[in-house]
Amino acid sequence: MVQPILQIENLHKKFKDVEVLKGVDLSLETGDVVSIIGSSGSGKTTLLRCVNMLEEFHQGRILIDGEEIGYSGPRHKARKESEIARQRAMTGMVFQQFNLFPHMTALRNVTLGLTKVKKMPAEEANAIAGKWLARVGMSDRCDHHPGQLSGGQQQRVAIARAVAMNPKVMLFDEVTSALDPELVNEVLNVIKDLANEGMTMLLVTHEMKFAFEVSDRVVFMNQGRIEEEGPPEELFRKPKSQRLAEFLKSSKF
């Protein structure tokens, strides 16, 4: 059996008394592209944030390449901050709001993690960052600050910043939701290219057509649970659950 690169087991997450993840199990093998769909508030963002340890969780385990992240042991003991920082670099995250560092050039946004986390010499970091910025079509904007870039360009730099760290899994949370419609495709195309090259991805999206085309599997979340999971053809064409059928109808797929 192949060891999954990302394994989520029985994940429970509460905000105060409200349980927003009620036992999620999900597993990705290297190269898998999995899309999470579901109505607003179903816990998609929260799930991704738990994988990147931006949220604490109370029960369950997340393993990346076999290593339990955030916590250790049966007592669910939180790891040290420095441990968590190291583990966070195993996943790359792209946010809805880009979150580029506004005081740094596009190039420096990408090299920061390489020089400070991976302790690369500046030259090597610049070469890698330059390569990735070229891959997302931003070569001619390396010296620009985020304030000088369009939303689509900022998001492509943000993708370069995340993938340059060579993470084992990439996480995308509705990365085109904040973009003007005409800028959506340039970003989706970059993601598609990365997917085709075998990058492991877990992505939350409201772009059903994109999810259909890019995914190996699609996961439908509802009220903190995975309601249905399967290849896109089955999920989109032959939904088993009533809820998924309703969701697909309402989301104009």
Kindly list the residues in this chain that would bind Mg ion in the complex (CB under 5 A): 45
* Comparison of 133 and 221: residue with beta carbon closer to Mg ion: 221
The residue within the footprint of ligand ATP, chosen from 4, 5, 33, 45 (CB under 6 A), is 45
**Which one of 95, 172, 220, 236 is in contact with other proteins (CB under 8 A)?**
95
CA 224 from centroid of its chain's CA atoms: 18
Can you spell out the DSSP letters for 9-47? EEEEEEETTEEEEEEEEEEE-TT-EEEEEE-TTSSHHHH
Q: Please identify, using beta-carbon distances, which residue of 165 and 184 lies nearer to other proteins.
A: 165
* Stretch of 35-43, 126-134, 138-146, 238-246 contacting ligand ATP, by CB under 6 A: 35-43
**What value, to the nearest 5°, has the Cα angle with vertex 228 and ends 3 and 233?**
90
Interface with ligand ATP, residue 41, by CB under 6 A: yes
Angle between helices 106-116 and 122-135 (to 10 degrees): 130
The first and second tokens of residue 35, run together, are 């899309």
Instruction: Tell me the backbone φ, ψ of residue 152, rounded to 5 degrees.
Output: -65, -40
Taking CB under 8 A as the criterion, which residues in 8-67 touch other proteins?
52-54
- Helical segments of the chain, H only: 44-51, 81-88, 106-116, 122-135, 151-163, 181-196, 208-214, 232-237, 242-250
Task: Decide if residue 40 touches ligand ATP (CB under 6 A).
Answer: yes
Q: CA nearest 202: which of 166, 170, 161?
A: 170
* Residue 119 within binding range of other proteins, rule CB under 8 A: no
CB of 126 to other proteins, least distance (A): 16
Task: Give 43 or 152: the residue with its C-beta nearer to ligand ATP.
Answer: 43
Least CB distance to ligand ATP at residue 48 (A) = 8
Report yes or no: 12 and 23 within 8 Å, Cβ to Cβ. yes
What is the contact surface with ligand ATP in residues (CB under 6 A)? 15, 20, 38, 40-46
What is the contact surface with other proteins in residues (CB under 8 A)? 52-54, 81-82, 85-86, 88-89, 91-93, 95, 97, 99-103, 112-113, 116-117, 144-145, 147-148, 158, 161-162, 165
